[in-house]
Amino acid sequence: MNNTQGDWRAIIDDQGPYWLIRNDEHIIAKVGWGDLTNIEIKEVEADAHLIAAAPDLYEALLSALGSLVALGIQNQSWGNEVTEYIKKALAKAEGREL
């Protein structure tokens, strides 16, 4: 998958009410808010951290799927269910439907 490489981080932007998702070289995304409550601002912060974790989560899912297949666990009833959840999440991350 071609995404912006590097370690993604969520940092608060001191020039505006945004969380920046960035690596060492690029701003990947801005997650911002307008006139929100404190609860909503906390949700935006949580969203920013989740987005920053996306590349690591994607790689973890690929690894987990590979392990399930290599061990033959995907053919057991619970393994099949887990495998399908992982495949669905990977398809979503890749912009395709399963």
Tokens of 29: 């995304």
Residue ranges of domains in the chain: 9-93
Tens-place pLDDT, residues 9-53: 999 888 777 889 999 999 999 998 766 666 677 888 899 999 999
Q: What is the mean pLDDT of the chain?
A: 87
Does 56 score more than 90 pLDDT?
yes
CB count, 10 Å around CB of 83? 18
First to last CA, the chain: 16
In this prediction, residue 73 has a pLDDT band, given cuts at 50, 70 and 90, of confident
Long-range contacts of 92-98 (CB under 8 A, 24+ apart): 93/1, 93/54, 93/58, 93/61, 94/1
